[in-house]
Amino acid sequence: MRAQTSLPAVGIAFLLLTGTLVVGVLSAEAALRGADRQALDRRAAVGLSETLVRAEAPVTERQNVLNESALANLTATDLRNRYGLPQEASVRITLDGRTLVTDGPPKNGITFERTVLLERSRLRTLEPSFEGTRSVTIPRRTTSLNLTLRPPVNTTMRTVRVNGRVRLHNASGLNGTYEVPVTTVETARLRFEAVGPLSDGSVVIRYEPVRTEKGRLAVTVDG
Amino acid sequence: MDNRAVAPVVGKLLAAAIAVLYIAGTTSLLLGGVVPDYRTAAGEELSERTLAEAAAIVERAATGSGSTTVARVRTELPPTIRDGSYRLVLRNGTLVLDHHDADLDARTNLSVPSTVQTVESTWKSGDTLVVRAAEGKTNRTVELVDRS
């Protein structure tokens, strides 16, 4: 075996070669994993968020303005059937960090965020006390006022004016509930013209001012 | 003691045989398992991106300005994926990439307004992708144009 001294050298050389090969394969693997951009998940997330804020979507008032109560009723089934989410994908939709819909839940996936406007309307009631004045200014602009007129028995309320224009008139006296459309272009100032005293509770004004706030809608899709 | 001179020859032959076996083994290991897997993985990624790009083009054509009666949007897509040609099929609101290797198939749902109708159409790779959108009486239609 004197002449076989080259065999250990060959063995060591192969060991080194194998090591290089393993390192090469591992780095190729890492490069491939790093190149995974989840293009289709991204597309699904972008597409879903676009469909959600589209003007004709059921959860929007107009383009990019979401109706908060409609958004709260959104379910994962709706997303699949109406908003084009793939059947097998898991999804999470959050609004300002609050989870609205989650299904799956997605383990990694792609998150797409967009700034949206949220529209909320809340019913407000105003009861003027009529101390020294018979005018009322509505603090927030709205499209419609609901007036309930219950003047005291010895008072005849004849006219209600909005910004000087007569909107309700009855010479024999107004009594009951009336819907008065107003404009959002100017602040509504109501004036009640009555013969006799008016007091607390004679007039109740209900209105629903609309408030829009900015929000962050985040859509995560993991296909 | 006639065969003493044989020893170095046997040693060399042994080393050469081991080297040949080793190279054959690693080559078959790489080309038989690792490399095709990697090509498929790279092909999957490429087919996903190709489909994403094609879907973006279709959506752009679909939601394009309403004033134009007919719009054509074109883009270059890879002629082959993993050395094989492929087809794009637009059908019923989805876009499907159909490759002869089933691992590379991909599909995506298009996010288009409900007024847009997708016409069932096919495009074969190797050409420029042209998407034609036309304004109809009631709705807008999109289709892939196959020029072959």
pLDDT of A111: 93
Do A61 and A113 sit in the same domain of this protein? yes
What is the average per-residue pLDDT within B7-19?
86
pLDDT of A215: 92
To test the contact with chain B by mutation, choose from A40, A83, A88, A112 the residue with the greatest count of B C-beta atoms within 10 A, namely: A40
A172 belongs to a structural domain? yes
Which chain B residues contact residue A38 at CB under 8 A? 48
A31 belongs to a structural domain? no
pLDDT of B54: 93
To test the contact with chain A by mutation, choose from B1, B111, B112, B139 the residue with the greatest count of A C-beta atoms within 10 A, namely: B111
pLDDT of A4: 61
Which chain A residues contact residue B30 at CB under 8 A? 21
> Is it the case that residue B25 has pLDDT exceeding 60?
yes
pLDDT of A190: 93
Distance from CA of A36 to the nearest CA of B (A): 6
A59 belongs to a structural domain? yes
Among all residues of chain B, which has the CA nearest to that of A9?
B15
Do A142 and A203 sit in the same domain of this protein? yes
Which chain A residues contact residue B11 at CB under 8 A? 3-4, 6-7
Sheet holding A124-126, edge to edge: A124-126, A203-207, A144-149, A176-181
pLDDT digits (tens, 9 = 90+) for A1-35: 555 677 888 889 999 999 999 999 999 999 988 88
Q: Within an 8 Å CB–CB cutoff, is residue A23 touching chain B?
A: no
| Lowest mean pLDDT across A100-114, A193-207, B58-72, B99-113 | B58-72
pLDDT of A58: 86
Which chain B residues contact residue A53 at CB under 8 A? none
The whole domain housing A133 covers 124-207
C-alpha dist (Å) from residue B123 to B80, B143, B147: 13, 10, 8
Could you give the angle at the alpha carbon of A64 between the alpha carbons of A62 and A65, nearest 5°? 60
Which chain B residues contact residue A84 at CB under 8 A? 93, 109-111
Do A114 and A52 sit in the same domain of this protein? yes
Give yes or no for a contact between B143 and B119, defined as CB atoms under 8 angstroms apart. Answer: yes
Do A95 and A202 sit in the same domain of this protein? no
> Is it the case that residue A112 has pLDDT exceeding 90?
yes
Mean pLDDT of chain A: 89
Tell me how many domains chain A contains: 2
Q: Within an 8 Å CB–CB cutoff, is residue B38 touching chain A?
A: yes
> Is it the case that residue B66 has pLDDT exceeding 70?
no
Do A105 and A50 sit in the same domain of this protein? yes
A167 belongs to a structural domain? yes
Q: Within an 8 Å CB–CB cutoff, is residue A85 touching chain B?
A: yes
pLDDT digits (tens, 9 = 90+) for B79-128: 999 999 999 999 988 999 999 999 899 999 888 888 888 899 999 998 89
Q: Within an 8 Å CB–CB cutoff, is residue B5 touching chain A?
A: no
A28 belongs to a structural domain? no
Beta bridge partners of A17: none
A90 belongs to a structural domain? yes
The interface pTM score, or ipTM, of the predicted complex is 0.78
pLDDT of A168: 93
> Is it the case that residue A186 has pLDDT exceeding 80?
yes
- What the block records as the tokens of A48 is 């879903």
C-alpha dist (Å) from residue A127 to A7, A123, A201, A207: 104, 13, 6, 12
Q: With 0-12 CB in 10 A as exposed, 13-18 as middle and 19+ as buried, what is A155?
A: middle
Query: For residue A134, what is the domain's CATH number?
Result: 2.60.120
To test the contact with chain A by mutation, choose from B46, B109, B118, B140 the residue with the greatest count of A C-beta atoms within 10 A, namely: B109
% of chain A exceeding 90 in pLDDT: 47
Distance from CA of A96 to the nearest CA of B (A): 24
Do A97 and A45 sit in the same domain of this protein? yes
Do A176 and A157 sit in the same domain of this protein? yes
Q: Within an 8 Å CB–CB cutoff, is residue B49 touching chain A?
A: yes
